[in-house]
């Protein structure tokens, strides 16, 4: 993977026709943030630089990760291999995110079941807050977490609950084709 220039924080915007533009930010220790598609490249740039205003845009940053993003948004069953920089998340969030990464493509888990699986039984609300603060979508697939009664729960990405529905439908359709 192409490294960020001189250890700086770098970002890249990835056009995903017809879905808009995804984005990600990389630091010396790995992926700092990633985002689901925004409607425009300009919106994706704003998201990428909002938390990291000094980040440098690098056109060829992490080409393998870009291929994985493109494959995923075409409905491919992708296991993201990006190195994640855990320095900006709490130990609880790290436990939850690591466990959530093991939920298979096209499957879902409830907030409570994820809390238990991550070693924090009874912490369903904490899992909900961790999903809201997830810095790594879709690498950490927060859209796969649902309410115990089968409801979708919330979704804080810019597309809101409609984007969550779309991601779940995309994965479901891909699973049924294979």
Instruction: Give tens-digit pLDDT for 132-159.
Output: 999 999 999 999 999 999 899 888 877 8
What share of the chain has pLDDT > 90, as a percent?
85
Separation CA 159–CA 38 (nearest Å):
8
- The answer on pLDDT for 172 being more than 80 is yes
- The answer on pLDDT for 166 being more than 70 is yes
Query: Is residue 152 one of the residues assigned to a domain?
Result: yes
Q: Which residue range forms the structural domain that includes residue 12?
A: 5-73
Query: Is residue 79 one of the residues assigned to a domain?
Result: no
Q: Select from 73, 99, 114 the last residue of a domain.
A: 73
At 48-88, the pLDDT tens digits run 999 999 999 999 999 999 999 999 999 999 999 999 999 99
Query: Is residue 84 one of the residues assigned to a domain?
Result: no
- The answer on pLDDT for 121 being more than 70 is yes
My answer on whether 139 and 60 are in the same domain is no
Residue 145, domain CATH: 1.10.10.10
Query: Is residue 13 one of the residues assigned to a domain?
Result: yes
Q: Is 142 a catalytic residue?
A: yes
- The answer on pLDDT for 93 being more than 80 is yes
My answer on whether 65 and 115 are in the same domain is no
My answer on whether 66 and 93 are in the same domain is no
My answer on whether 95 and 49 are in the same domain is no
Which of 68, 75, 78 is CA-nearest to residue 22? 68
Question: What pLDDT is recorded for position 174?
Answer: 81
My answer on whether 61 and 101 are in the same domain is no
Which is catalytic among the residues 142, 145, 157, 167? 142
- The answer on pLDDT for 2 being more than 60 is no
My answer on whether 67 and 96 are in the same domain is no
CB 92 within 8 A of CB 120: yes
Six token digits for residue 51: 């938390």
Question: What pLDDT is recorded for position 5?
Answer: 55
DSSP at 59: T
What share of the chain has pLDDT > 70, as a percent?
96
- The answer on pLDDT for 178 being more than 90 is no
**Structural domains of the chain, count:** 2
Query: Is residue 169 one of the residues assigned to a domain?
Result: yes
Query: Is residue 126 one of the residues assigned to a domain?
Result: yes
Query: Is residue 111 one of the residues assigned to a domain?
Result: yes
- The answer on pLDDT for 4 being more than 60 is no
My answer on whether 100 and 169 are in the same domain is yes
Helices 124-132 + 91-100 axis angle, to 10: 90
Q: Select from 42, 73, 104 the last residue of a domain.
A: 73
Question: What pLDDT is recorded for position 7?
Answer: 72
My answer on whether 96 and 156 are in the same domain is yes
pTM to 2 decimals? Answer: 0.92
Alpha helices in 55-178 (DSSP H): 63-73, 91-100, 111-117, 124-132, 160-177
Query: Is residue 116 one of the residues assigned to a domain?
Result: yes
């Amino acid at each position: 993977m192409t490294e960020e220039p001189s250890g700086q924080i770098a970002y890249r915007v990835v056009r995903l026709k017809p879905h808009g533009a995804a984005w990600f930010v990389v630091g010396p220790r790995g992926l700092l943030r990633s985002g689901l598609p925004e409607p425009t490249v300009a919106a994706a740039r704003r998201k990428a630089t909002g938390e990291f205003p000094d980040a440098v845009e690098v056109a060829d940053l992490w080409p393998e990760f870009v291929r994985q993003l493109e494959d995923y948004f075409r409905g491919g069953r992708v296991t993201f291999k990006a190195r994640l920089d855990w320095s900006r998340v709490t130990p609880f969030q790290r436990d939850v995110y690591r466990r959530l990464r093991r939920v298979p493509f096209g499957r879902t888990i409830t907030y409570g079941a994820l809390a238990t699986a991550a070693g924090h039984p009874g912490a369903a609300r904490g899992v909900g807050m961790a999903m809201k603060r997830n810095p790594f979508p879709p690498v950490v697939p927060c859209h796969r977490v649902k309410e115990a009664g089968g409801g979708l729960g919330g979704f804080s990405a810019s597309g809101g609950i409609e984007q969550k529905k779309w991601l779940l439908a995309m994965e479901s359709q891909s699973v049924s084709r294979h």
